[in-house]
Amino acid sequence: MPVSADCHLHSHHSGDSKAPMEEMVLRGIELGLDTLCFTEHNDFDYPSAPGEPEDLFLLNADSYLYELLGLKEKYADRIRLLFGLELGLAPEAFRKNAVFARSHEYDFIIGSSHICHGKDPYYPSFFEGRSDEDAYREYFRSELENIQKFSNFDVYGHLDYVVRYGASKDKDYCYDKYRDILDAILEAILEAEKGIELNTGSIRSGMRDFHPCREVLKRYRQLGGEIITVGSDAHEPGCIGHSFDAAAEVLTECGFRYYTVFEKRVPEFRKL
């Protein structure tokens, strides 16, 4: 497997997963991966749906780290386990996110946009009364604002996450249609000396391409981008490493020679 590190994983420590962490680790070993980076969710001020707890996406980082350290010791001779975080970015949470990101010595922080102006595109209400294009543009503008105002992350996760939930998904979506705002996002990421991820979770959700689509990946590389992690966004063991062979092919097609793994917030470049 050309990509042997899955750098976007969720266990029962994330509000949207029930997967035992040890089962995730054992699946990674079974697949022949040499590195797993758990990136448990923390989203302040998440607009929970009726019937869901208000603290659904508030991470108990101490409990998470305690379990991870035990598994690191248990499986030290079989796989490297890293302590990551997926931090939900939104303007109203910048101060709290800054404190949370410094509260532990994370190996890796993904900055992600799950909330756009108080709504998660996962729910249909985000799209009500407007076209997918208008909704996608609002989401991309909010990402740009996040990047310009918050910098304590290593890569921006699933840049076109919003497309996963549009009525048309990625049927009419392409880089050229949103070139103005996507270029601004990529340029801001590069100016901040951050990277992006290739997220394979889109394929499982019925999209034709990865997050972000290959045209965006290619453009990022053209602009000089080199930092790129690969993650399955798995919330259960069976999804770990999903479509990683195809991901390696796409990265090579887009001009990348390396992918990235972070430990202690320092990038390690691995040849594809």
Alpha-carbon span 82 to 40, nearest angstrom: 11
CB 252 within 8 A of CB 272: yes
pLDDT digits (tens, 9 = 90+) for 217-260: 999 999 999 999 999 999 999 999 999 999 999 999 999 999 99
Please give the Cα distance from 32 to 184 (Å, whole number).
Answer: 38
Structural domains counted in the chain: 1
Candidates 93, 213, 196, 99; CA nearest to 145 is: 93
DSSP string computed for 214-267: HHHHHHHHHTT---EEEE--BSSGGGTTTTHHHHHHHHHHTT-SEEEEEETTEE
Between CA 197 and CA 260 the distance in angstroms is 9
Q: Are 265 and 109 in contact (CB under 8 A)?
A: yes
Prediction pTM value: 0.97
pLDDT digits (tens, 9 = 90+) for 159-188: 999 999 998 888 889 999 999 999 999 999
12: domain range?
5-271
Nearest-angstrom CA–CA distance, 115 and 122: 9
Residue range 30-76, pLDDT digits in tens: 999 999 999 999 999 998 777 788 899 999 999 999 999 999 999 99
In terms of DSSP bridges, do strands 258-263 and 266-271 run parallel, antiparallel, or are they unpaired? Answer: antiparallel
CATH of the domain at 189: 3.20.20.140
Nearby residues of 185 by Cβ (< 8 Å), 6 or more positions away: 140, 143, 144, 147, 156, 159
